[in-house]
Structure 1
Amino acid sequence: MTTESLAGLGNLALSRKEDFKTFVEAPRRTQPAKLAREALQALDETARTAYERDRRTWHANLGPIKTPQLVSLHGDLWDIVDSNQQDGDKAKGAVAVDAFPGLGKTTAVLAFAREFHRREIAEHGAFTTQGHERWPVCRVGLTGNTGMKDLNRAMLEFFGHPGRQTSTAAQLGLQALDCMLLCEVRLLILDDLHFLKWRKTSGIEVSNHLKWIANEFPVTLLKVGVGLMDKGLFSEGEATGDTVLAQTGRRTTRLDMPPFTIDTEQGRRRWRQLLLALEQRIVLADAHPGMLADDLPNYLFARSTGHIGSLMTLVNRGCQRAQRTGAERLTRDLLDQVRNDEAAEQARRELEYAFRAGKATSRPHGSRIPT
């Protein structure tokens, strides 16, 4: 796949199978060469334009990084998905990835889905024994108004089924089941599950429907959302009087993506390892070893509060500014000009005070302190 077609990955809707396939089959991006300032200035106009475009795209897609959180989540997901090979008369265990925003849960789940899809195709082929396209993964994004019919239609939208606009809710459900069976779907991802109002009529309706899917579809349900426990997904039914939610809790394994912390030596070392990994991916002429891990660890933690999503946003935007302005490195002065997400900005002041007062540090014992 060429650089131009890789750039086109920004124009995908992963809720449709063709786009999801493009995402899954895309090769790893090739990191642009790091050029010294002299070599950068020596490029002619055409080469400079192409190089700057490649760097912009590269910095906008620095992840995913194999953090301890991602590795742990993937290990649990492989355990659960691979153990869900029961015969069709047995319901399969479901998974709920429940974590705060900005911790990389959707990125981690999509990275797992890509690996799983590739493995299934490699082992079983691109077509089923009946000659249908094999789709190991179906990914559906939910909205705040999702009811049973909307969920069924969204599953059919993934497959581009012609009956998705005209059928009844029951017909849509059966058509979705047919698609899953014919295409031998093994993993059904429901993203943004927190948009549902679980203790409202539509939420109970969808919860009942998810139970039906778990019973009838030969898939592992992978639900992704924020605050799912608080919304009642795992409740035993006391709040609603509905035992269906209790059954959902019994069949669902909750996994999380915790933020980085610096209150232990292990936590500080993990933060440093993340910054070192990020440094290796930054393509700026004046970037140097320790630019993040030695020079800016406390600053970057304060700006991100240990949330990898906020960190990646800040570094990406900082790289774009450093490239555009000719600074060609990340410094505190440059990053102070870069706006981050509102949640991170709100928490920034308290953390910066703790670092200045010596009440906290993100530096592990023995790491270099800039002079």
Structure 2
Amino acid sequence: MSPAHGAQPAQQASARLDNLTMSRKEGLRAMADTPSRRQPDQLLPKQLADLSEAALEEYQEDRSIWHANIGPIKTPQLEALHEDLWDIVDSNRQDGDKVKGAVAVDAFPGLGKTTAVLNFALKYHRREIRRRGAFTDAGHERWPVCRVGLTSNIGMKDFNRALLEFYAHPGRTSGTSALFVQRALDCVLQCETKLLIIDDLHFLKWQARNGKEVSNHFKYIANEFPVTLIFIGVELEKRGLYSEIDDSGDITLAQTARRTTPLTLDPFKVNDEQRRQQWRKLLLALEKRIVLSRSFPGMLADELSDYLFFRTTGHIGSLMTLINRGCQRAVRSGAELLSEDLLDQVKIDAASERARRALEPKFKQHRLTSKTQPTGKLRKEHSKAGAV
């Protein structure tokens, strides 16, 4: 059996994960239940050349899918966020007559907040199913997590309909807003949902009529639904999550501030040795997940450390995009390794490209570096990086 075929069962098991959405319960369950992908075997250039045309095509497909789904990486930021989420969620075991504390994960784009929260949600889903079973005592499907994404013009009825869409409720197409929310509450109770994730909260126009309706509606949900609310968004405090809506005496959002714990994800920085070591460990962990026939230890952490930092400004979303697209080009072009010349041909987000113009000269002039001071401990990192 060729190395290309060796990864086939695991790849087939997750081959259709690209054709799902996390706004449907079936998509969330597929993500939670599908076994982890098996990393394709690392072939030397000669082994790659010896593959038949069919085996090579299959191997390239396996590598393409693998590199496109190379994360998430257990960074210090992700682990800290998960620890805080476990604290909050596991402490929200109050009886139904008490309001449960909410969470707001607030960070700039490109820092992986949605990825980190969904990764936590999948772990929570698996834990609850393992502990309590796939069905409730009453015989209903158990859905520990519900996720809803907001749009810029969403109203209260639209939000309630989105809740029903997640559960595929037959009454999601017709009815009043009041009926929709009662049906949604029935779904939450019958399916014993404990986490309600509301993504892209920054799309909500707080000062518009719809924004006020929905933000007031969150208070109702917090009071009446036995769930932990997890909001995800950008600059939520600035947009009004923790402030009063206006001067008319409406204190709904002020109450939200008392009940909501803000959490964040920070970009990587290289302004001291500890942060440089964190950046290096991230790159070492990524190296172990790259499947290119000419890759080598230190390809990222030694040869490309500064380059990757000023290309992405320490934003892990931009970094993962650059690595993914770079690997796709390296495979397609036959280069089979990552270099500055190759990565310079790869385009990523506009924010990173703008920031590069200001940051790159500081590295080129040796006024800033991402590289750590050499120590005996750091020389052993390549063999230990898989634990990151």
Question: Structure 2: which amino acid aligns with 1:121?
Answer: I
Matches of 2:245 and 2:329, distance apart in 1? 51
| 1:287 counterpart = 2:295 | yes
Given that 2:105 and 2:262 are in contact with CA atoms closer than 8 Å, whether structure 1 keeps it comes out as yes
1:167 corresponds to:
175
Q: Does 1:347 align with 2:350?
A: no
Q: Which residue of 2 aligns with 1:322?
A: 330
- Structure 2 unaligned blocks of 5 or more: 1-8, 379-388
Q: For residue 67 of structure 1, what is the aligned residue in structure 2?
A: 75
TM-score by length of 2: 0.93
1: CA distance, partners of 2:80 / 2:246: 32
SS of 2:337's equivalent in the other structure is: coil
1:289-308 CA distances to partner (integer Å, 9 max, x unpaired)?
00000001110000000000
CA distance in structure 2 between the aligned counterparts of 1:48 and 1:124, rounded to whole angstroms: 44
Given that 2:212 and 2:245 are in contact with CA atoms closer than 8 Å, whether structure 1 keeps it comes out as: no
Partner of 2:148: 140
Give the Å deviation of 1:236.
4.8
Q: 1:237 to 1:146 in 2, by over 3 A?
A: closer
**Count of residues paired in the alignment:** 369
Match for residue 190 of structure 1 among 198, 217, 220: 198
Q: Match for residue 46 of structure 2? A: 38
Q: Which residue of 1 aligns with 2:384?
A: none
| In 1: Cα distance, 2:10 partner to 2:356 partner | 40
Q: How far apart are residue 242 of structure 1 and its match?
A: 2.3
Judge conservation of contact 1:268–1:364 (CA < 8 Å) in 2: yes
- Deviation of the 1:357 alpha carbon: 1.4
SS in 2 for 1:10: coil
- Say if 2:35 is the partner of 1:27: yes
| Greater CA drift, 198-207 or 248-257 | 198-207
Instruction: Quote the residue 2:109 is aligned against.
Output: 101
TM-superposed deviation, 1:204: 1.3
Alignment of 1:206-285 (within 5 A): 206-236=214-244, 241-285=249-293
Deviation per CA, 1:339-364, whole angstroms, max 9, x where unpaired?
Answer: 01111000001111001111111111
Q: Quick one: which amino acid aligns to residue 163 of structure 1? A: G
Give 1:202 deviation, angstroms. Answer: 1.2
The answer (yes or no) to whether the contact 1:214–1:221 under 8 Å persists in 2 is yes
Q: Secondary structure at the match of 2:105?
A: strand
SS of corresponding position for 2:172: helix
Counterpart contact for 1:153–1:172, Cα < 8 Å = yes
Residue 145 of structure 2 aligns with an amino acid whose one-letter code is: V
Distance in 2 (alpha carbons) for counterparts of 1:240 and 1:286: 66
Q: Distance in 1 between matches of 2:303 and 2:186?
A: 56
1:11 to 19, 35, 50: 19
- Between the aligned partners of 1:195 and 1:353, the Cα distance in structure 2 is 35
**Preserved contact between residue 199 and residue 231 of structure 1 (Cα < 8 Å):** no
CA displacement 1:165-184 (0-9 Å, x = unmatched): 11100000000000000000
Distance 2:89 2:247 in 1: 31
Contact persistence 2:13–2:34 (CA under 8 A): no
Q: Distance in 2 between matches of 1:241 and 1:357?
A: 56
For 1:78 and 1:70, the matched residues in 2 are separated by 12
Once residues 213 and 150 of structure 1 are traced to their aligned partners in structure 2, the CA distance between those partners, rounded to angstroms, is 15
Q: Give 1:46 deviation, angstroms.
A: 1.5
2:137 to 129, 134, 138: 129
Query: For residues 2 and 30 of structure 1, do their structure 2 counterparts lie closer, same or farther at Cα, with a shift above 3 Å needed?
Result: closer
Question: Is the Cα contact below 8 Å between 1:56 and 1:320 reproduced in 2?
Answer: yes
Check 1:85–1:364 CA distance in 2 against 1; reply closer, same or farther (3 A cut). same
Q: By how many angstroms is 1:237 displaced?
A: 5.2
Give runs of ≥4 in structure 1 deviating > 4 Å: 236-241
Change in Cα spacing, 1:268 to 1:215, as seen in structure 2 (3 Å) is same
Aligned to 2:292, the other structure's residue is in SS state coil
> Of residues 64, 82, 86 in structure 1, which corresponds to 2:94?
86
Contact 1:297 1:362 in 2 (8 A): yes
2:157 aligned partner:
149
For residues 109-147 of structure 1, the C-alpha deviation after alignment (integer angstroms, 9 at most, x for no partner) is 110000000000011111101000000000111111111
CA offsets, 1:201-255, max 9 Å, x none? Answer: 2111111100000000000001101111110101255667520010001100000
Question: Are 1:56 and 2:64 counterparts?
Answer: yes
Partner residue in 1 for 2:318: 310
Structure 1 residues 148-175: Cα deviation after superposition (integer angstroms, max 9, x where no partner): 1011000000011111111100000000
CA distance in 2, matches of 1:364, 1:229: 36
- 2:55 pairs with 1:47: yes
- Give the distance between the partners of 1:214 and 1:121, measured in 2 at CA: 24
Give the aligned CA root-mean-square deviation in angstroms. Answer: 1.4
Paired letter, 1:299: Y
Aligned residue type for 1:249: A
Question: Is contact 2:10–2:36 with CA below 8 Å preserved after alignment?
Answer: no
Partner of 1:112: 120
Aligned match of 2:368: 360
1:2: Cα distance to partner?
A: 4.4
